Chains A and B, each alone.
Chain A
Amino acid sequence: MTTKTAGILALFDYLDDVEAALETIKGRPEFKDHILYSHTSYHELVHHAEERYGPSQVRWFTLTGALTGATTGFWLPILCDLDFPLIVGGKSPAFNSLPPNLIFIFELFVLFGALATILGMLWLGRLGNPHARILDNRLMDDKFGIFVPGAQVDGEEASLLKSQGAFEIKKTS
């Protein structure tokens, strides 16, 4: 990940300052690999992420999981019934008594869909790494940050971010 490289971290107090900074650096090659940090998911910032990375692919994980679950829920009772045709209330099992299977289709649709969604969130968000680098503790508290890899504290990138309202520029290694 780019965060492993050295660079600068610009810290902001205000949401509108970060938004303005993001507008300013948009399309500039020296900020191509910048990473934005936030303590919560403000719509404005998530929108910026959507513009930059495109729609989240988590949805495909959800769809795949849900369809797998529904298929499993459909076949599980049928295959079990074919293996051992348990007759209940005089009704022959498997394909001749499908309505109760809807419950298994629904439950496994939800279960597999949820599990796949979590998997997607972990995979795409690069989560599950206990050694992830924490650039500044304040980013989890109430500050916003823009990390620019390869930039210098006294460089042009730093002064641009400062002019946009960054209250602190720090070097990260």
Chain B
Amino acid sequence: MSDTVQWDKTISDVNEGILKGVEGRPHPTYYIALVFALTLLAIGITGWGLIVSFGIGLSGKSSPVYWGTFITDFVFWVGIGHAGTLISAILFLFRAKWRNSINRSAEAMTVFAVITAGLFPLIHMGRVWNGFWTLPLPNTNNMWVNFRSPLLWDVFAISTYLTVSLLFWYMGLVPDIASLRDRVKGFKRFVYGILSLGWTGNIRQWHHYETGYGFLAALSTPLVLSVHSIVSWDFAMALQPGWHTTIFPPYFVAGAILSGCAMVYNLVVPVRKMFRLEGFIKEEHLEACLKLTLLTSTIVAYAYAIEFFIAWYSGSYYEWAIFKGRATGPYSFYFWTMTFCNCVFPLLLWSRKIRYNIPVAMVICFLINIGMWFERYNIVISSLAEDFLPGSWGHYEPSIIDMCMTFGSFGWFFSWFLVFTKFFPFVSMSELKLIMPKPLRRKPTH
């Protein structure tokens, strides 16, 4: 793909162009975005402070819905964290060159999204200071760990995913931090010197780095597919109607990649402008990301359709009642928002013109993210609210505090992301150079 990209920059422009943003001042919109993110974060902290002070009853949870928006947020953010490693690892193994310009941002997104997700089980418990009791410390504290519980599988899956994504991201950063170290002075040089681990760029280092990076990609690839499969088992292993289906793992994985790719687009486009990186993150790279978004949107649409069909075809009364209820019952607004945002609006991306129209594509990706949040809300809430016994049915609406926490999570995520973009190279310089024309004295003849 990048073979056809018309580069107006050369390899010599890469470090200068990308590190200019780190060393100098970004566009004023960066500061506006940061203030906005911090405001959202403050809203979230206020909501959490109220929960800690007055109790978990402030959230909208009540019988029979004890998994409310906090678990919705958890699943949403794990899903967002999905595309990062997909772009870094799977596309690396497939040698998809376009990934080299956006993989750093996707990896950063993964790490911050998974950290954000990890907050929600703790918040959901209410008494967060007792959170350490949930650590899967085998047979200590008289906590007899149930290794057959999907919740424990989830703890292992997500902590492994976070650790491996963090290592993958950091190792990718090392050569670029070394470039930064050699350009700055004083305390900054000291800090970047430590973070660069003494990288000098000698070929022995590159040799082991390349091999190790390949292994990390190979190890991460099944991890990408397993993490959201295991998250889906939190639901699918339960006998709840609407949850207990075998389609959940691939359906969750496709949905996660869809939301992750849309979020990458929503993040990269503004930051590309703020740090003047248009010469390095080309429209062709963004278009490739949109193609992946479109592909996963069609998979998600297929999953929605087949889920509905099987609910009817299976002849299970309870299953069909849940699905009918989702489309026509009290949660139908969420259902139709989800369907339109995830399956209908992305169809516009079939048009090449729209894929190259950045503002329109931004709106579509934004709508996909809204749709994916509603998808998780739809799955979590509608199944819990109406199960087998009508006598135990109830209704759930998120409280103001729930919404504060959801907006706060966006603030938390965006704040970390924006801080990262200011202090570290947003584009992987060493990898970008690999997809640009090689510095050759004797030009290749084709």
Q: Does A121 contact B (CB under 8 A)?
A: yes
Q: A141-B15, A142-B15 are in contact. Are A125 and B205 (CB under 8 A)?
A: yes
Which residues of chain A have C-beta atoms less than 8 A from B200's C-beta? 3, 37, 132-135, 139
Q: A114-B219, A125-B204 are in contact. Are A58 and B211 (CB under 8 A)?
A: yes
Q: Does A35 contact B (CB under 8 A)?
A: yes
Q: How far, in whole Å, are A48 and B101 apart by their CA atoms in the complex?
A: 26
Which residues of chain B have C-beta atoms less than 8 A from A89's C-beta? 148
Contact of A97 among B11, B148, B174 (CB under 8 A): B148
On chain B, the number of residues with a Cβ less than 8 Å from chain A's Cβ atoms is 64
- Mask, B192-216, CB within 8 Å of A = 1, is 0110011111111111111110011
Q: A114-B219, A117-B216, A140-B178 are in contact. Are A46 and B198 (CB under 8 A)?
A: no
Which residues of chain A have C-beta atoms less than 8 A from B301's C-beta? none
Stretch at the interface among A8-16, A24-32, A150-158: A8-16
Q: How far, in whole Å, are A64 and B183 apart by their CA atoms in the complex?
A: 38
A142 in contact with B439 (CB, 8 Å): yes
Q: How far, in whole Å, are A128 and B327 apart by their CA atoms in the complex?
A: 57
Which range holds the interface residue count of chain A?
Answer: 35 or more
The chain B residue with its CB closest to the CB of A79 is B138
B203 in contact with A46 (CB, 8 Å): yes
The chain A residue with its CB closest to the CB of B237 is A100
B208 in contact with A121 (CB, 8 Å): yes
A107 in contact with B215 (CB, 8 Å): no
Chain B residues numbered 374-431 whose CB sits less than 8 Å from any CB in chain A: 429-431
Q: How far, in whole Å, are A83 and B201 apart by their CA atoms in the complex?
A: 50
B208 in contact with A103 (CB, 8 Å): no
B197 in contact with A48 (CB, 8 Å): no
A40 in contact with B430 (CB, 8 Å): yes
B198 in contact with A130 (CB, 8 Å): yes
B215 in contact with A62 (CB, 8 Å): yes
- Mask, B149-165, CB within 8 Å of A = 1, is 10001001100100110
- Mask, A74-97, CB within 8 Å of B = 1, is 001101110110101101010001
A46 in contact with B440 (CB, 8 Å): no
Which residues of chain A have C-beta atoms less than 8 A from B202's C-beta? 3, 35-37
A134 in contact with B164 (CB, 8 Å): no
A46 in contact with B157 (CB, 8 Å): no
Q: How far, in whole Å, are A3 and B168 apart by their CA atoms in the complex?
A: 28
A45 in contact with B208 (CB, 8 Å): no
* Nearest CB of chain B from residue A162's CB, rounded to whole Å: 14
Q: A58-B215, A103-B153, A140-B182 are in contact. Are A39 and B163 (CB under 8 A)?
A: no
A140 in contact with B204 (CB, 8 Å): no
* Nearest CB of chain B from residue A155's CB, rounded to whole Å: 22
Which residues of chain B have C-beta atoms less than 8 A from A58's C-beta? 208, 211-212, 215
User: Chain B: residues with CB nearer than 8 A to chain A?
Assistant: 11-12, 14-16, 138-139, 144-149, 153, 156-157, 160, 163-164, 167-168, 171, 174-175, 178-179, 182-183, 193-194, 197-212, 215-216, 219-220, 222-223, 226, 230, 429-431, 433-434, 438-442
14 of the cross-chain contacts (CB-CB < 8 Å) are A16-B441, A35-B202, A39-B11, A40-B206, A40-B430, A41-B210, A42-B438, A59-B211, A86-B144, A114-B168, A120-B208, A125-B204, A126-B204, A129-B197
What are the 9 closest A-B residue pairs judged by CB atoms, nearest first? A132-B198, A129-B198, A56-B211, A49-B207, A121-B212, A77-B147, A14-B441, A125-B205, A36-B203
